Structure 1
Amino acid sequence: MASYDPRDFRALTFHDATAGFRDGGDTPRAFLERCLETIAAREPTVRAWVVTNVEGARAAADASTARWKAGQPLSPIDGMPVGIKDLLETRDMPTQMGCVAYRGNFPKRDNAAVWALREAGAVVLGKTVTTELGGAHPGPTTNPFDQTRTPGGSSSGSAAVVGARMVPAALGTQVGGSVIRPAAYCGNIALKPSQGGLNRGERQATSMSTTGVHAGSIEDMWLVAKAIATRAGGDPGRPGLVGPDAPPLAQRPMVVGVMETEGWPRLDDASKTAFEQVVERLRAQGVTVLRRDQPALAAFEDALVGAQAMANGITGWENHWLFRNLVALNADGISARSKAVLAAAEKRTPEDYRLFLVQREALRARHAALTGVVDALIAPACPGPAPVWAGDVPGQPLVARPTGEAVFNVPSSAIGAPAVTVPLASVGGMPFGIQVMTQLQTDAQATAIARWMLETIEPVIG
């Protein structure tokens, strides 16, 4: 177990290595080999990779080395080793979705975001562990700072490979809290973009699913996201990620609002104290901080009541045909936890779904009403540090959320707003992330504010 201190931890980064690629002091192949050394040392404990393609990665890194030597890199991330969540298809590795029913599934085609990364010269190193079908049933991955704890879900492997310094960036996806929360548990920076900001390719089934980026730095996070958006665009009917090609410069917010959500009463005292210390440090920098006694924020918080149940209801309804068909075809290939999710969804009706959508639209309207009131909302990115997960106990009820609750992440997912995880605190020697959320299509603003916080606010040790 390695205690986490955000003041000292140095994540693996790529953007600052490219100067060496240009002058010949370093190469993408050498960078990859260093990643492989870290993987060899840490993977037996962290268990974040489903499969790797080392031979293909080395060939891609050699091609990138030649381009940098010739002064013709394809993009700023040319040569960057990346992990791909095993929900997203890859032409050279199977896509098994953490599910026994999909064991051996190998479509031999690239997801849109994966294709875009290859076009930008990135080195697709391997597939990272996901929870079963991106749901609540965990895979084998452990937290890189404490192997008894979860790395979060469903982007468990993507968060862990970045937190363990195996690669500088990895793709995840979020429906409830699957990018922002695991990043917070593993000490990462992460972007859950505006809904549809990055093309999901084949994964269009659920209305709140979003492809996002885990990274060790704001710069790498943004460069990976832009590499995808400028090549593959956004989802059908969506404008794609909006913002400059270069990472946005740090921007101090004038006014931020605290977003407590339904999760506030569940937050343990140490985590609540750590968050409040971050709030006080923002005030010390001249930032005005508003709470729920501000009328528009109070109305927004009122609209968040029941939001977690609403989000679960929407996603359960939208997924239940897939789950139903899988159970019909291979009942033994689906976990009891996923079967329980299906059973709950089967009890709902189209009218239930319609009412959930009405509730979601009301929440979005309340959030839009905060335009001009606050520059951003801040909140815990997770309900305390990563919980200990020792596995299900035979004969006992299943733990509903072994990878942690998404209650603090539901707002950005349901609204479709961009959110960035900022590793600004630790609680009990474990990462405890803060999130920055802004209005739809203002991803660059969220990133700029997050960058300012990282560069200005002294981390909190709780």
Structure 2
Amino acid sequence: MSEHYDPRTFQALTFHDKVPSFLDGSDTPRSYLEQCLETIAEREPEVKAYVVLNEDGAREAADASTQRYKDGKPLSTIDGLPISIKDLLETKDMPTQMGCEAYAGNFPTNDNAAVWALREAGAVVLGKTVTAELGGSHPGPTTNPFDPSRTPGGSSSGSAAAVASRMVPTAIGTQVGGSIIRPAAFCGNVALKPTQGGINRGERQATSMSTHGPHAGCVEDMWQVAIEIAKRSGGDRGALGLFGPMTAPAAAKPDTLIVLETAGWAMLDDKSKIAFEGLLENLQRAGITLLRRVDYPLIEKLEQTIVEAPAITGNITPWENRWAQRNLVNLKGEFVSERAKATLAKAEAMTPDDYRAAILDREAAQRAHAAIGNLADAAITLSCPGPAPLWPGDIQGQPLAPRPTGDAIFNTPSSMLFAPCVTMPLMSVGGMPVGAQIMGQQHEDARMTAFARWIIDEIDPVLVD
């Protein structure tokens, strides 16, 4: 069932606005959970967002939350919040199979640091969402909630689709190249890709560019999830963690924004270019000054450095993963996709000098990004290269044929820069969501959240048929 997406009228599922009714007893977290389960029963056969659900455990947690509200003692701003977890993160009560047949039945019985923090805050961990294999590009069965013939993006496919189809108000995704922001943009969600190290990844710290971040139906829920996790489990080892208030930052209007084209502009379709330029015009009409690469040499220098972001990311991450991937292939190679094996082969053809060169290129890009910090409040660009691609299915006999979860070309820059960004559902192209993202300097997560909140509230969305 296709559903034409209109950001002006689409009603996302939200949680923060229900908390007052939990406090006064006119509604309960258990009732809210049951509404989520009803939607899952209706939408899941087509959307296929979940690997596993723990309905009994969720009901038990929701009942405990209901009692805490009755006693006037909720544990946090997200007590009773139904949330789903990307199936890369360990959960003590559900298997963690990472979208890979080699991990079928894997049941660690531990909680990832972020999952542990969510439970400590009283959140209701409802299920594990589909991930592309090992967090890579070989996708699972999840479809886009607005058109089942299209991808929801990846690798956080199920998390994006579960929120977009109103199954849950929030879900946790992960990103190395673009796996939080791109699927959120394809599915019409808001999402935060935090400053590198801002949210404790627990056992998922094998790569230097991966992050955890929330998908949500609104900025308020997005921020509350992120900050409640950071309050309890902190950031990565040796990292400063996520900074910001314990309630969602108030909306703030940016005065000046830098428009980044990135390497993605050249591959963007005409309709998406029209939509984004229309959004920029709306920002200018609201009194926001826009700066472009032709205006300042420092912006041009940044544009030139981030052109190589996909290649730099594509060298760093496979190298860092190579030993784990080799162990897996040696043990259970028959259960690993040809796409994952091709990534391993690339890594094993690299040398330490190749990796060092990529790290130095990343550091140079980070310096170029820091140099524009005083020019504007933030940067804005697209979150995805147009609407979600159609997925006609696998091509028989061609295991490495393109399987479109979408290109991360607009996402690898923020990942490489370790910069926070928030994607905003502000455009519809051909009836499908297309997001725009606002990106700041490292540790400006709260500031970007405040800007995103203002832009979503005050700037008219753009529709191009």
TM-score category by the smaller chain?
A: over 0.9
The whole-number CA distance in structure 2 between the counterparts of 1:314 and 1:87 is 20
Calculate the TM-score normalised by the size of structure 1.
0.99
Deviations 1:268-323 (A, max 9, x none): 00001100001011000111001111211101001112221111110111111111
The equivalences for 1:10-409 within 5 A come to 10-293=11-294, 294-396=296-398, 398-400=400-402, 402-409=404-411
Deviations 1:398-432 (A, max 9, x none): 23452001010011101110010100010000000
Contact 1:392 1:398 in 2 (8 A): no
Unaligned ranges ≥5, structure 2: none
State the shift of 1:459 in Å.
0.5
Deviations 1:360-393 (A, max 9, x none): 0000000000111011110110011000112221
Pair 1:2-2:3 in alignment: yes
Deviations 1:14-68 (A, max 9, x none): 0000111011111000000000000000000000000010000000000000000
Matched position secondary structure for 1:108: coil
Matched position secondary structure for 1:177: coil
Deviations 1:180-229 (A, max 9, x none): 00000000000000001000000010000000000001000000001100
Aligned-CA RMSD value: 0.8
Deviations 1:130-152 (A, max 9, x none): 00000000000000000000000
Deviations 1:101-120 (A, max 9, x none): 00000000000000000000
Contact 2:139 2:403 in 1 (8 A): no
Name the amino acid aligned to 1:430.
Answer: M
Calculate the TM-score normalised by the size of structure 2.
0.98
State the shift of 1:397 in Å.
6.3
The whole-number CA distance in structure 2 between the counterparts of 1:185 and 1:124 is 24
Contact 1:136 1:400 in 2 (8 A): no
The whole-number CA distance in structure 2 between the counterparts of 1:302 and 1:424 is 27
Residues matched between the structures, number: 462
Contact 1:360 1:414 in 2 (8 A): yes
Name the amino acid aligned to 1:314.
Answer: I
The whole-number CA distance in structure 2 between the counterparts of 1:323 and 1:447 is 36
The whole-number CA distance in structure 2 between the counterparts of 1:397 and 1:123 is 38
Contact 2:394 2:403 in 1 (8 A): no
The whole-number CA distance in structure 2 between the counterparts of 1:259 and 1:88 is 32
Between 286-295 and 123-132, the greater mean CA deviation after superposition: 286-295
Name the amino acid aligned to 1:345.
Answer: A
Q: Which residue pairs with 2:452 in the alignment? A: 450
The whole-number CA distance in structure 1 between the counterparts of 2:252 and 2:336 is 46
Name the amino acid aligned to 1:44.
Answer: P
Contact 2:185 2:423 in 1 (8 A): yes
Contact 2:138 2:340 in 1 (8 A): yes
Matched position secondary structure for 1:43: helix
List structure 1 segments (4+ residues) > 4 angstroms apart after TM superposition. none
Matched position secondary structure for 2:276: helix
Pair 1:412-2:414 in alignment: yes
Name the amino acid aligned to 2:82.
Answer: P
Name the amino acid aligned to 1:426.
Answer: S
Name the amino acid aligned to 1:251.
Answer: A
Q: Which residue pairs with 1:431 in the alignment? A: 433
Contact 2:395 2:401 in 1 (8 A): no
The whole-number CA distance in structure 2 between the counterparts of 1:271 and 1:148 is 19
The whole-number CA distance in structure 1 between the counterparts of 2:196 and 2:398 is 38
The whole-number CA distance in structure 2 between the counterparts of 1:280 and 1:19 is 38
The whole-number CA distance in structure 2 between the counterparts of 1:258 and 1:343 is 37
Name the amino acid aligned to 1:59.
Answer: E
Name the amino acid aligned to 1:335.
Answer: S
The whole-number CA distance in structure 1 between the counterparts of 2:81 and 2:399 is 43
Summarize the Cα distance change of 1:114–1:397 in structure 2 as closer, same or farther, 3 Å threshold: closer
Matched position secondary structure for 2:263: coil
Contact 1:46 1:147 in 2 (8 A): yes
Unaligned ranges ≥5, structure 1: none
Name the amino acid aligned to 1:193.
Answer: P
Contact 1:78 1:120 in 2 (8 A): yes
The whole-number CA distance in structure 2 between the counterparts of 1:135 and 1:257 is 31
Matched position secondary structure for 2:137: coil
